[in-house]
Homo-oligomer: A and B are copies of this chain.
Amino acid sequence: MSAQSARRDSHTVQSLLAVAVEVFNVRGYDGTSMEDLAKAAGITKSSIYHHVAGKEELLRLAVTRALDGLFTVLDEPPAREGAAATRLEYVIRRTCAELIENLPYVTLLLRVRGNTAAEREALERRRDFDHRVAELVAEAIAEGDLRADLDPRLTSRLVFGLVNSLTEWYRPQEHGVGGSGEADHSAVADALVALVFDGVRNPAAPKTPGFA
């Protein structure tokens, strides 16, 4: 036994979870063994079993944390009251912030493929989330704020594809103004909301031949 693996176990479930999520994101869930987790956490495999039933419980806890964050947004008053387009904008901004706040957890959530029961449940909840956003898009079209030619389901998928893609490249230290986390969130969320609602076209430009 190495000096590292013999270290006294000062982990909580939450601190162990943070380590596990990092390892899952680097090696892939399927590619991670309990041995890998024990090494990364600096404790023995049997110490891990004092905290959780095993690898799948860690996965379940991690994706549940990510999903609970997203669903919380849908239940906040500004997501439930007022014009649907305004609620949609709120949901987009807040899910960007949630995603950035819980970056490793949401990254893991977006990579689950349905190989285990925990993964299939997570995919089911993601579909439910998409469905609720598609309803919001449909309402905003009915209220006349969004273009009538939009397909609500396709639009919901594209918009959340865009939000989710932040996990692929967003690194807190690289972005934002003055290095503050708050500014980070809102600069990226502003750019994303502007793209979703108004696109990149300069409204003052004369129409370029052959351009969109």
Q: Which residues of A contact B (CB under 8 A)?
A: 25-31, 82-83, 85-86, 89, 110-111, 113, 115, 137, 141, 144-151, 154-155, 157-162, 164-166, 168-169, 188, 191-205, 208-212
CA distance A164 to B209 in the complex (A): 27
- In the complex, given contacts A145-B208, A146-B205, what are 8 additional A-B residue pairs having Cβ atoms less than 8 angstroms apart? A25-B113, A83-B208, A145-B201, A146-B202, A165-B165, A195-B199, A196-B199, A197-B211
A169 touching B165, Cβ below 8 Å: no
A202 touching B148, Cβ below 8 Å: yes
Quick one: which of B30, B141, B197 contacts A199, CB cutoff 8 A? Answer: B197
Copies in the complex: 2
21 contacts between A and B (CB under 8 A): A28-B29, A30-B30, A31-B31, A83-B210, A85-B208, A86-B208, A145-B205, A146-B200, A146-B202, A146-B205, A147-B201, A147-B202, A150-B191, A158-B165, A159-B200, A161-B164, A161-B168, A161-B169, A194-B199, A197-B212, A198-B198
CA distance A211 to B83 in the complex (A): 8
**Chain B residue nearest in CB terms to A31:** B30
B28 touching A144, Cβ below 8 Å: no
A198 touching B195, Cβ below 8 Å: no
A145 touching B202, Cβ below 8 Å: yes
Nearest-neighbour CB distance to chain B for A74, whole angstroms, equals 18
B162 touching A161, Cβ below 8 Å: yes
A201 touching B146, Cβ below 8 Å: yes
B201 touching A198, Cβ below 8 Å: yes
